[in-house]
Structure 1
Amino acid sequence: MIPRYTRPEMASIWEPQTRFKIWFEIEAHAADAQAELGVIPKEAAKTVWAKARNVTFDVARIDEIERETKHDVIAFLTHLAEIVGPEARFVHQGMTSSDVLDTCLNVQLTRAADILIADLDKVLAALKKRAFEHKMTPTIGRSHGIHAEPVTFGLKLAYAYAEFSRARARLVAARKEVATCAISGAVGTFAQIDPRVEEHVAKAMGLEPEPISTQVIPRDRHAMYFATLGVIASSVERLSIEIRHLQRTEVLEAEEFFSEGQKGSSAMPHKRNPVLSENLTGLSRMVRAYVTPAMENVALWHERDISHSSAERMMGPDATVTLDFALMRLAGLIEKLLIYPANMQKNLDRLGGLVHSQRLLIALTQKGASREDAYKYVQRNAMPVWRGEGDFQTLLKKDPDVKKHLSDAEIEEQFDLGYHFKHVDTIFKRVFGES
């Protein structure tokens, strides 16, 4: 993670001091449970809390010890012993390093998920507000980048709202899946530690006991978590690309807010570029880049190898910090998005009514023409208009085959723009629960 794309609240989850604080809490809660079970003296457990609960751990000292031990958890435990004194010998009994590391990682991932869920709520609120503002604002729907049929700009935003609603539900599920704790020893058999210790630590840390672990918590849980972040990033990119296309000079139906004093180009003073949307596209790629290593971390050797560790040390902070920044940037972009209904109408009219071709096709078949003939009649009148030669409605009224089935008034009726929006209320009701 780099400062440019980092928000302090999310970054604090991954700071060394936070990590060591969580490690201490895991060890101290385990000591409490061991004391209740009579494995270690109760006074020893109390001393651990009393001497280290409010300590600011010396990160530089831990790093110094690790340079000698080549083991981060041992380095931490050595530093903890320097703080606690003789009673530190009762810490970490029957535990393995992964009991601390994996439980800590899952605490961090659940905390990160809580921030991301709040971020998604902000995106959803912005999308809903703007969707209702432009619920009936006509614009052209495009397939393959080509004008298709009319939609409303509110529907475009409602589509995004529904997508991010699904994203939120997936993230809630992914948070639950990764919120497990393992205090099960070297190979997960609880040979040196009572399972009740795990249950106590899990409850204290806001997690659930892992039903069955090896030396580590199963990495399919983490794969699902990071895959969910990747899907959310793809949703961010999809909406960002939509905005980028709509801001193109030839389209200009929507535009990122351009603040006073902002500059778009070092060479061309007139430029107003979709830099936020482009930035979000790039950030989305970075979040998705961590999905593959998360998947590959699932296949560890036997009861555990350490191949996952180096990847997770990077992907945990980077993926969550980057997505947090991206979601908050997206929420602000939507809140301030400039929307140009007049340009939307101008683009709607650009093809001279060709966007109503399907209505004419259906009307002809309902009046007796075969589908093949109806398609031929409509298309042969549409193609000259596509080339800029003539008016679609006028050409249809002059076509003898069309006139066999439709009167002038019936032809005109097919060009009613409002016809396309008769079910917008129904769609909004489905998406938002209100219309």
Structure 2
Amino acid sequence: MIFDRFLASPEVVRVLDERAFVQAMLDFEAALARAQAGAGAIPAGAAEAIAAACDASRFDVDAIVVEGGRVGTIAIPLVKALTAAVAKIDAEAALVVHWGGTTQDVLDTAQVLVARRALALVDRDLSVLIPALLKLADAHGDAPMLGRTLMQPAQVISLGFKLAGWIAPLVRAQSRIRQAGAAALQLQLGGAVGTRAAMGEHGDAVAATMAASLDLRLPPAAWHTQRDELVSLGCELGVLAGSLGKIARDISLMAQGEVGELAEPSGGGRGGSSAMPHKRNPVAAMTALAAAVRTPQRVAALLAAMPQEHERGLGNWQAELAEFGGLLASVHGALAALTLAADGLQVFPDRMRRNIDALQGLVFAEALAMRAAREIGKSDAHHWVEGLSKEAVSSGGHLRDTALMALARDERLRARLPAAELAALFDADAPARHASALAAPQLAALAAHAEELRRDPPWQTHL
């Protein structure tokens, strides 16, 4: 579909496309034949003839997909085409193509093989995006900016504090996806009902050899209707998409012209408008937000497909196959877009400070009330500052100046709260320093953890 590709990355489209999936199915068939030959179940010559024919470029992939829709699975037309190709090489070998395996074995294992390459892309790009955001924190982390709650200005924080809130979920997601992937990336080989009965005494040895040759985990049994580990991986991918969407949402809001605190990189027509030459649209945020909208439904479909009938599901397993690739494509599309943008993300500290100043000091009202409460009690202090805030809004003045004038009129409070101390409460750098001090150890720990993850990528050799 055109918009699936539009919202995905070219790399993930390539590892998930029809030809890549068919080649993964053929990789299963080649590994099955060689493992059976190694166990003495079929002749070695037959295994090599089968493996030699397992090249997707030799097959009409589109015809196999269309025929698969007619007969109920793409495995049947593929095995038929493979058998015919092997027969041209060795008629005897054609008799043992796909011997002892079943449709779900080849499709589940192929799904795992293509998913591993997509996960390698996800893991690789997380190890690029996270350091890019850490670099922004190093360069601009102390900059004061507005913290916003319920879409309204609240108090002053620092950019580093905000970035820590972006980075932490990404580091956690990378760790959890690795753990979930280690469990889910496993061989499927159970035969008709999961017992490998057709292979008799050779079944266990064939499975062990296949798992080793395909570099997949060897499960204790077939998982034809045990979908928990694969679905758990899907859930972790959905959580990552949500975390990417949160970052994208913040970027898009901070990049609004009237806010102007961040801007995505531009140039070469990126972010342009077909009608308005001045536009600079946050297209990376757009892509990530689109993924955040779409992935919950895909994850929900995976969860909904889990109650599968007996030893082989009807309709639910097929729905899972269709959704899982789309989930991977959406997640990597979002990640790739934000990774590209993060390296050139522009920060405007002066605009951040102007946005603070434009609020007439109202974002310091809590600090003023807390300090006054030490002298006159919390309730009276709250009432006092509430009145001052209304006066500042009405007059268009600054809360600091309004408070200083009120202080001058209040003999009791004036004796307890020096004017210089009151004025200092409106220094934007003070709460920003506090926020940065809170964020600093977290950012240091995240940087160390991210570096450990970067040094030990689990799936990059399969790209």
C-alpha distance 276-92 of structure 1, shift in aligned 2 (>3 A): closer
Segments of structure 1 that go 5 or more residues without pairing to the other structure are: none
Aligned to 1:198: 207
Indicate yes or no: 2:240 matched with 1:224.
Answer: no
**Of 30, 33, 44, which aligns to 1:31?**
33
Which SS does the other structure have where 1:209 is aligned?
Answer: coil
Among candidates 132, 136, 146, match of residue 140 of structure 1: 146
Structure 1 residue 419 corresponds to structure 2 residue 427: no
Any residues of structure 2 matched to 1:26-425 within 5 Å, and which? 26-49=28-51, 51-52=52-53, 56-60=57-61, 62=64, 71-85=73-87, 86-193=92-199, 194-213=203-222, 216=224, 218-259=226-267, 264-366=272-374, 368-397=375-404, 398-399=406-407, 400=410, 402-420=413-431, 421-422=433-434, 424-425=436-437
CA–CA distance in structure 2, aligned partners of residues 55 and 291 of structure 1 = 30
Q: Is the 8 A contact 1:52 1:83 kept in 2?
A: yes
| Residue type at the aligned position of 1:205 | L
1:153 alignment partner AA: L
Cα distance, 1:71–1:152 mapped onto 2, change above 3 Å: closer
Once structures 1 and 2 are overlaid, which stretch shifts more, 389-398 or 178-187? 389-398
Superposition deviation, residue 262 in structure 1:
6.1
Which residue identity lines up with residue 409 of structure 1 in the other structure?
A: A
* CA positional deviation for 1:117: 1.0
Q: 2:39 is matched by which residue type in structure 1?
A: L
Structure 1 residue 173, shift from structure 2 partner = 2.0
Distance 1:206 1:137, change over 3 A: same
Contact 1:17–1:59 (CA under 8 A) maintained in structure 2:
no
Q: What TM-score results when the alignment is normalised by the length of structure 1?
A: 0.90
CA contact (8 A) 1:199 1:208 kept: no
Preserved contact between residue 133 and residue 154 of structure 1 (Cα < 8 Å) = no
CA distance in 2, matches of 1:36, 1:270: 66
Deviating 4+ runs (over 6 angstroms): none
Q: What is the DSSP-based 3-state SS (H/G/I as helix, E as strand, rest coil) of the residue aligned with 2:364?
A: helix
Q: CA deviation at 1:54?
A: 5.4
The alignment partner of 1:180 has SS state of coil
CA distance in 1: counterparts of 2:435 and 2:270, whole angstroms: 41
Kindly provide the CA deviation profile for residues 38-69 of structure 1, in whole angstroms up to 9, marking residues without a partner as x. 322233223323x3255733125645875885
TM-score, length-scaled by structure 2:
0.85
- Greater relative contact order (CA < 8 Å, ≥ 6 in sequence): 2
Inter-partner Cα distance in structure 1 for 2:114 and 2:85: 24
Counterparts in 2 of 1:263 and 1:374: CA distance versus 1, 3 Å: closer
Structure 2: gaps spanning 5 or more residues: 449-463
Single out whichever of 225-234 and 13-22 deviates more from structure 2: 13-22
Between the two proteins, the alignment pairs up a number of residues equal to: 432
SS in 1 for 2:95: helix
On the 8 A contact 1:351/1:386 being kept in 2, the answer is no
DSSP-derived class of the 2:57 partner: coil
Query: 1:304, 1:297 → 2: CA distance?
Result: 12
Matched AA of 2:222: S
SS in 2 for 1:94: coil
* Percent identity for Structure 1 against Structure 2: 27
